[in-house]
Structure formats: structure tokens, C-alpha cells
Homo-oligomer: A and B are copies of this chain.
Amino acid sequence: MKYAFGVDIGGTTVKMGLLDQNGKILEKWEIPTRTEDNGSKVLPDIAAAIRDKINEKGLNDSDIAGVGVGAPGAVDDNGVIYQAVNLGWGKFNLKETLHSMVKLPVKAGNDANVAALGESWMGGGRGFSSMLMVTLGTGVGGGLVIGDHIINGAQGSCCEIGHIHLVDNEEEECGCGNHGCFEQYASATGIVRLAKRRLAEDTKDSVLRSGEISSKRIFDEAKNGDEVAVEITKRYGYYLGKGLAICANVLNPEVIVIGGGVSKCGDILFDLLRPSFDEFLFKGCRETKFAMAELGNDAGICGAARLVLA
């Protein structure tokens, strides 16, 4: 049996896991992300934590397939990270640098892409030959996995689907400076924006007229039968389905796996997006399936371990 370390570097903590080749998480733990001195302590801390764990478990280096790392920035096929603003990192070869410290084989990828690989291996994408992972959070992120491989794109920006143009004549500006980007509608902040627009249209009664509006609350109130909330979720589903249809027409994945905060509303999301997804879908892609992400916060360490186990 071979083992691997999966490392998911975040802005405040580094999630770490020891997995076996079947994808079973034997142990997981966290260490703080020390971002001082331009993040120069992050990789030494990770290397030390791994060596400690190897000693603690009495493992031999020959039992370890390697260390996989997901980092919050664009990472190319050679392991070069272009920038990780949250960590204070500029451009350098993450893979080779960590390898020189930990003395084990290292592979590295973008954190969202690595999480996608985790879902493809052990989560919602298990058993499918190709998967588009879509994360509906503060923004909209994407990751493409074909077979066992993450498709990184030329500058590590494959599946930056949050910024595909979705709607003409949008007046509000997206964070990226454009107008009408997919994530202006399909993110958790997007649905709140749609809610505020809907509420401003008339004075129809709705519990959403008082209190803070959040993605979760909109879906909860829709389930409780609030008619305005129902309308908002339908509009949300329209945009989500339209954007995913564009992605499916370009990529023709076997399955689209949806994760992130908004996905916690459950399978109703599929019912909401399906009409417009089918409307805008090219017929050659009609067999596209949907699934929910299953691994939650473990997707990152799981996919990172898979980088060195595949």
C-alpha cells in the first residue's frame, strides 16, 4: 500500500492529510498559515509537519508516493505558481521549492482545480470520464478534470468560468471590470443582487423585505413558500443554467459537479437550472449529467494526494 500527503494551502490555515492509495483519509490536521515575511515560512512549516508525521507514524519514505499541494493561485504544468496574493507569494516554482525541503516527490496545482480532482476521484464526479466542477461561492470558480488529469490551461486559468460574458446590457460592474459576467448572477453574492433587484420592482409582500438577505435565507424562504423568494430562485436558476450550458457546449463534460455555499440548498438547484440549461444546450451535449459535490472541505487534501497517486 502506498500513501500520500495532501496539502491544501489557505490564507489562514493549511489543511493537511495522510491518505492511502484508495483515497481513504487516515489522518487530517491543520497548521496555521504564517503569511509574514512574504509567506516565506509557509513551505518550511509544511515540510516540517510532513517529516514529523512520517516519524510519528513510523513510515518509510519508500512507502510515500509523494506530496500533493493545492495553492491559492494559478499554477502551471511545471509547478510554477504565478502569484498568491493571500500568502504574499510572487512567481516561483512551488513544486521544486517544496521538493528541496521535504525530499519527497511533489506535485502542485491551483487549489480550486485540485479540489476538483478530489471530487472527481472520491466525490460527486467518481466514475465519470470527464468532469466540470463548478463552485458557487462568493464568486464562481471552475475546474476541469479529464481522466485523472486536471486541465490547467496555458496560464493556469482554464475554467475561469466566473467571468464568461453571460448577459448583454448589464449596467452594474463586475469585480473584474466587465459587465454581465456569469458570477454577477450565479454566485452567492449574485443571488443576493438578484433578490434586491426583484424586491425593488414592486411592493409585493415577502419576508425578505426585512432582515439581512443571504443566499441561504432566500432558498429557505422559497422552500417555506414565500412567492417572491420562489421567483428569485427561478431567476437564479435561469442564469445558472444558461451559463452552465455555455460551459457544457465548449467542454462537453460527462458530468457537472456543483459545490460551494449555494449548493447547500440541495437538489432543488438542479430543478431550477435545468429548463434554461436545456434551452441553451447544443443537442450533442444533451447527455450531460449533474451531481452535487460530496467532499466539502476534504476535497482539497483528497485531490492534492491524488496528484501524486494517479
Contact = CB atoms under 8 A, between A and B. Distances in A.
Interface of A: 74, 77, 129-130, 142, 146, 151-165, 167-169, 176, 178, 242, 245-247, 249-254, 279-280, 282-285, 287-288
Chain A binding surface SS class: loop
A166 to B, nearest CB: 8
A242 to B, nearest CB: 7
Contact of A154 (B151, B159, B282, B287): B287
B285 A157 contact: yes
Contacts of A253: 153-154
Nearest to A249: B164
Given A178-B279, A280-B165, A160 B249 contact: yes
A168 B243 CA distance: 13
24 contacts: A74-B284, A129-B154, A130-B153, A130-B154, A153-B252, A154-B253, A154-B285, A155-B284, A156-B252, A156-B284, A157-B249, A157-B252, A157-B284, A160-B249, A160-B250, A164-B249, A164-B282, A165-B242, A167-B168, A176-B283, A178-B279, A246-B250, A247-B250, A250-B250
Contacts of A142: 250
